[in-house]
Amino acid sequence: MTTLASSRRGAPSPDGLPSVGRRLRLDRRYLPVVGTLVVFALLLVVGGARYDNFLSVGVIANLFINNAFLIVLAVGMTFVILTGGIDLSVGSVLALSGVTAAYLLRAGVPAGVVIPLVVLVGSLIGLLVGAMVHVFEVQPFIATLAAMFFARGLCFLIAPESIPIDDETFVALASWDTWAGGQWRLTSSVMIALAVVAVAFYLLHYTQFGRTVYAIGGGEQSARLMGLPVARTKVLVYVISGTCAGLGGLLFAMFSRSGYSLTGVGMELDAIAAVVIGGTLLTGGTGFVLGSVLGVLVLGLIQTIVTFEGTLSSWWTKIVIGALLLVFVVLQRLLALRRS
């Protein structure tokens, strides 16, 4: 996936200018993503060597199925971090979206109404955050922290208890999948997640909005003086992140067949970790959405290995992720230092 991105973006221009040598030389900007790819491959090799059945299609398919919601969150987070911001509200918004969906479905509202509605709830919270960040110049950290508490509080206001979902349409959608043979399974949530990734990739690399996102990360003042629509873009990235969180809540509800106020506590941090491990700089301006997907897969693979090990406490996942995050941040720092 990432190699596709690299070859697309670094593609030789049709005037035939680039030589073979230039094509072989890797653009520095792809280095962090390549690092993530290496870690991903290493994890696969280690897992495959230690456990039978690890390198199976089923494990890979489950990797996507179990992490579809996190992929969607990480995609939204990538937009925000690329502009140099941060979004701490996504975990709570995910919970709010799930709880709202479960509550409305239990009340008998048709799934066709509920699904777009809860996604819109996410967009709306994103819009509020964007307005706070842009109009009132509140630090993104604080604005999204406020949104985080706000959304979490709303969850409990709606329903403190876990609400099971048994709406027929919703369940049918959640359990729909397509078998491409053997253990391979492609569920509706994975399809949605992959569609989100594709749309995000298109937005970031093939629209002016996406280029403005990168430009803001490179220097907000510069972007403004270049005449780019900085204000609109800054609000929009939070709307996108909120929308992704709303959609993520839907996917999580499909995954767990319920809505519960306490889901997704700390999940925003998982999303940030995935984005950073995927090679996006927290200072903004550098990174790729496909790297973030890879980051989520690395996190998922660590979890899978810990599960396969069996005797290990599941908290080992956190320890390994923490260590990995540290290594990646230090590596990025070294790369940045060497550049300057």
The residues of the shown chain that bind another protein, judged by CB under 8 A, are: 9-11, 13-15, 17-18, 22, 27-29, 202, 205-208, 211-212, 214-215, 217-219, 221-229, 285-286, 339
Tokens of 175: 């359990």
Q: How far apart are CA 329 and CA 326, in angstroms?
A: 5
Q: Least distance from C-beta 283 to another protein, angstroms?
A: 9
Could you tell me how far CA 88 lies from the centroid of its own chain?
A: 13
Rg (CA), the chain: 20
Note the residue count of the chain: 340
CB closer to another protein out of 11 and 135: 11
CB closer to another protein out of 286 and 292: 286
Q: Least distance from C-beta 286 to another protein, angstroms?
A: 5
Q: Least distance from C-beta 240 to another protein, angstroms?
A: 18
Residues 6+ positions from 110 with CB-CB distance below 8 Å: 169
CB closer to another protein out of 59 and 228: 228
Q: What are the backbone dihedrals phi and psi of residue 119, each rounded to the nearest 5 degrees, phi first?
A: -65, -40
Tell me which residue has tokens 């140099």.
84
For residue 122, give the nearest of 148, 141, 103, 104 by alpha carbon: 148
Q: Least distance from C-beta 24 to another protein, angstroms?
A: 14
Tokens of 69: 């919601």
Q: Is 195 exposed, middle or buried (0-12, 13-18, 19+ CB in 10 A)?
A: exposed
Q: Least distance from C-beta 17 to another protein, angstroms?
A: 8
CB closer to another protein out of 70 and 237: 237
CB closer to another protein out of 106 and 205: 205
Return the bridge partners of 258, or none: 164
Q: Least distance from C-beta 155 to another protein, angstroms?
A: 38
Q: Least distance from C-beta 46 to another protein, angstroms?
A: 34
CB closer to another protein out of 17 and 24: 17
Quickly list H helices, the chain: 2-9, 20-24, 31-50, 57-82, 90-106, 111-135, 140-158, 168-175, 188-206, 208-218, 220-225, 230-256, 267-277, 289-309, 315-339
CB closer to another protein out of 37 and 228: 228
